Amino acid sequence: MTLFRAFFTLSRAAQRQLAFGAILACLAALANFGLLFLSGWLLAGAACAGLAGLAAQQAFNMVLPATGVRFFAMMRILARYGERLVTHDGALRIIGQLRVACYGRIAPQAPAILHAQRGGDLLARFVTDTDTAGQYYTDVLIPFIRACVCGIFFIAITAIFSFHCAITLAVALLLCIVIAGAIKARCATLSDRLSATQSRIQSELADTITAIGESLSLGASFHQQSVIMQCQAELSATKRHLAALENGASSLIAFCATLTALCILFFAVKDFQAHLLTLPEVPMLVLGGLAAFDVMSPLPTAQKTLAQVHRAFDRLEDACFSNTTAKSTSNDKAFSDYSSLQFENICFRYSGQEQDIFHHATLCVKQGERVAITGPSGCGKSSLISMLFGFYPLQSGRILLGGSDVHTRTPEDLAQVISVAGQDFHLFNGTVRDNLLFANPASTEEDMVAALHTVQLTDFLATAPNGLDSFVGDEGLQLSGGQAKRLSIAQALLRKTPWIILDEPTEGLDATTEQHLLEQLIAARPDATLLCMTHRAAVLPFMTRVLRIQDDAFCPSEEKKP
């Protein structure tokens, strides 16, 4: 398991902390044992001294054992508190690092591979599975370590007083480990089912929330509701099964503890009759035996968590590793030459498609040109952007920027030179300012106002309740379609890159706004090389060249009428 190994590497920084946590956990368990062990002796000893008369009462030293009891009580509280503090801090750090590592693996898969996955499922892997995986140390490893270390110690202490009681305790503790192990396979099956249902319910909920308007307007909300309720019923049933299994094992361990206490009592009384034990040592061993089970009772839960952790690692590994396409790594050097962009003998189709969208297509755009790409809907105009940024692999051919293959570099390198305002743009649920700063965090207020002016959003800015600080809503829902589109073009402009690609920039705009936008765009960035995918005839006069996608290739077009 690549991720499991990576997890140990990630957790190296917190390993000392977790080891300290394990020591504190053992100390808390030992203190608990010591407390009951000593209390049993103290109570029985005091009772015996009371019965034996004044001389025995005066001879009986209460101070030392009573101090011991107080010491163990304090130590138990402090060690438990310390253990929680230290281990949870360590676990949270590991979860944070695991999330960063997973993000680093998942992000490069966008969008080609991620599109095949449901957003809710991916979110479940990224949030719930990383959380579950991070519980490995606190909820699995530490309980097992504590059970083994303290179990051996308890047996050794008991053996000092009574061999038979120690053997009984050893057998009983081993039996507890067997009981916890027995539920392993069933826990694994139920955990698989649980995580699959959890992920499905999260996906359904995410889809429902994203498309709540469409659900209502298409009359599909009842269907969606019943799907979620069905998932919820499955989830509850699986959780009930898991809880029944876990509680069944815990009850067996509790029964085992009672039985063991009775057996220890039996052997201790026999040893007392044989003058091998004093009377106060009998309840001491019985209570000590009961205390020993405190480290065994969390084992069924640890076993259940272990199964869930394994499943979480499998799912994370699946999301992070098995799907990853080989991506180049950035050499941190921006393209120094961007004098031309060449699509050289390209063959391209999406996976699952039978026909190429581009078949040995060649296109060369020189710096300073303004080129329009036209063609019927579905001919592949928007796909050019995905091909350029390497989101989907080419079947053959190369894309060269200034002579260097763009796919030997990362999309981030390319984005230093080329800005894109795509057809499927995304606006964050924040203010106009937030969205503009997302494109270029170094933008000044003047830059933002100027970019909004270029895209004809000055009136909007003047009437918006809080100007640049007006909220745009989720996916820009508080804006009209045309306003949202223009805001995405303003984002591209703010990046001030020498190349700009606009996919249907004037879609949904009235003729006057369209004209003004194109005029202002060219006036604001006369130096920019513009690649414009469009259906709109009004865009063409602003271009220096028009190409049409025809027969899976680029053909010069006569459409331009300046």
Ligand X SMILES: Nc1ncnc2c1ncn2[C@@H]1O[C@H](COP(=O)(O)OP(=O)(O)OP(=O)(O)O)[C@@H](O)[C@H]1O
Residues that bind ligand X (CB under 6 A): 115, 350, 357, 375, 377-383, 423
Residue 382 CB, shortest distance to ligand X, in Å, is 3
**Residue whose token pair is 């039978």:** 354
Residue 108 CB, shortest distance to ligand X, in Å, is 16
Residue 409 CB, shortest distance to ligand X, in Å, is 22
* CB-nearer residue toward ligand X: 383 or 440: 383
**Residue 328 DSSP symbol:** -
Using CA atoms, how far apart are residues 81 and 83, in angstroms rounded to an integer?
5
Residue 503 CB, shortest distance to ligand X, in Å, is 7
Greatest Cα-to-Cα distance within the chain, rounded to the nearest angstrom: 121
Amino acid type, 525: R
What tokens does 256 get? 């085992």
What tokens does 157 get? 């202490």
Residue 110 CB, shortest distance to ligand X, in Å, is 11
Helix boundaries (H) for 107-220: 119-124, 130-134, 142-161, 163-182, 184-210, 212-217
* CB-nearer residue toward ligand X: 245 or 379: 379
Can you name the residues that pair with 130 across neighbouring β-strands?
none
Residue 375 CB, shortest distance to ligand X, in Å, is 6
* CB-nearer residue toward ligand X: 378 or 562: 378
**Residue 325 DSSP symbol:** P
Residue 196 CB, shortest distance to ligand X, in Å, is 25
Residue 540 CB, shortest distance to ligand X, in Å, is 15
* CB-nearer residue toward ligand X: 3 or 549: 549
Cα distances from 476 to residues 104, 444, 450, 485, 487, in angstroms, run 27, 22, 20, 9, 9
* CB-nearer residue toward ligand X: 24 or 387: 387
Residue 471 CB, shortest distance to ligand X, in Å, is 29
Residue 450 CB, shortest distance to ligand X, in Å, is 29
* CB-nearer residue toward ligand X: 380 or 397: 380
**3-state secondary structure (DSSP) of residue 432:** helix
Close Cβ partners of 48 (under 8 Å, ≥ 6 residues apart): 56, 279, 280
What tokens does 549 get? 């996608």
* CB-nearer residue toward ligand X: 219 or 352: 352
* CB-nearer residue toward ligand X: 119 or 498: 119
Using CA atoms, how far apart are residues 204 and 230, in angstroms rounded to an integer?
11
Can you name the residues that pair with 377 across neighbouring β-strands?
none
Residue 130 CB, shortest distance to ligand X, in Å, is 27
Q: Are 430 and 511 in contact (CB under 8 A)?
A: no
Cα distances from 174 to residues 91, 186, 449, in angstroms, run 29, 20, 73
Using alpha carbons, select from 556, 498, 559 the residue that is nearest to residue 527.
498
* CB-nearer residue toward ligand X: 387 or 492: 387
Using alpha carbons, select from 509, 538, 504 the residue that is nearest to residue 382.
504
Using alpha carbons, select from 286, 288, 290, 282 the residue that is nearest to residue 255.
290
* CB-nearer residue toward ligand X: 101 or 384: 384
Per residue, what are the HEC states of 456-502? CCHHHHHHCCCHHHCECCHHHCCCCHHHHHHHHHHHHHHCCCCEEEE
Close Cβ partners of 95 (under 8 Å, ≥ 6 residues apart): 130, 131, 133, 134
* CB-nearer residue toward ligand X: 375 or 411: 375
* CB-nearer residue toward ligand X: 328 or 382: 382
Residue 485 CB, shortest distance to ligand X, in Å, is 13
Residue 535 CB, shortest distance to ligand X, in Å, is 6
Q: How many CB atoms lie within 10 A of CB 501?
A: 24
* CB-nearer residue toward ligand X: 451 or 489: 489
Q: What angle do CA 164, 168, 171 make, to 5 degrees?
A: 135
